[in-house]
Amino acid sequence: LFNIVFQGLSATQLFGYWQNPQLWKAFAYSLTMAPTAGILSVLFGFFLLLLSRQLQWLYRPKLAHLILTGGMMILAIPTIVLVVSVCNALAGLPFVIKILNTPMNQSMQYYEKLCLSLNITGWQRFCLIEYPLLKAPLKYALALATTLSLGDFTAIALFGSPDFTSLPHLLYQQIGQYRSQEAAVTALILLGLCLVLFMFIEGQKEQHD
């Protein structure tokens, strides 16, 4: 640590580098992203523990432990996978909001007074009231967001590397290198995977209906 301070202060181009606009742009980005990530991390952890605590109270310790284990398993997932997943999730967020907005508002209008009168709250309310009404739009939103993420190119183009790629990114590389036959196979696999995922999730919805 002392060496870092010494080398930084003794740099011959110290004054000129302090005037570098890229330094202050990077500084601004870091100062914006770090507190945002910290706040989101605390919020995610708080709500995760809130859910786990409620499940423990309802005598469901296995499910509570599974949720906490899932939160800790993030350590085993490469950071770049998390970054791309979050970017794709945010890209699909407007569509999810559009699908769920009306049924969630209708659920509130129809059953809010009933839930208040019977003191039905939290996880119990979700299982008894919300989920039966939102099951179909939730599964449709999941199917749409999943297929959109599967075909998304933006995030992987920004963060991808030779060791970390996706089908759309690989397809782009094959087309750019005039490997048309390989690109045709990749495009077919991508199309088939999107179709199978969407049909599977929608099929699960129809079976439960």
Q: Comparing 74-83, 85-94, 141-150, 184-193, which segment has the lowest mean pLDDT?
A: 74-83
DSSP string covering 93-160, please? HHHHHHHHHHHHHHHHHHHHHHHHHHT--HHHHIIIIIHHHHHHHHHHHHHHHHHHHHH--HHHHHH-
> Residue 37: what pLDDT?
65
Span 40-49, average pLDDT: 75
User: Hey, what are 54's tokens?
Assistant: 């409620």
Phi first, then psi, for residue 160 (nearest 5°) are -75, 165
Residue 20 pLDDT > 70, yes or no? no
**23 pLDDT band (50/70/90 cuts)?**
low
pLDDT per residue as tens digits for the range 187-197? 888 888 888 88
The model scores a pTM over 0.75: no
Give the residue with greater pLDDT, 22 vs 25.
25
pLDDT of residue 194: 81
Cα–Cα distance between 54 and 57 in angstroms, integer?
5
Q: Closest Cα partner for 99 from 129, 130, 133, 141?
A: 141
Q: Kindly state the average pLDDT of the residues 26-33.
A: 67
pLDDT tens-digit series, residues 161-180: 666 677 787 788 888 888 77
- pLDDT above 80: residue 92: yes
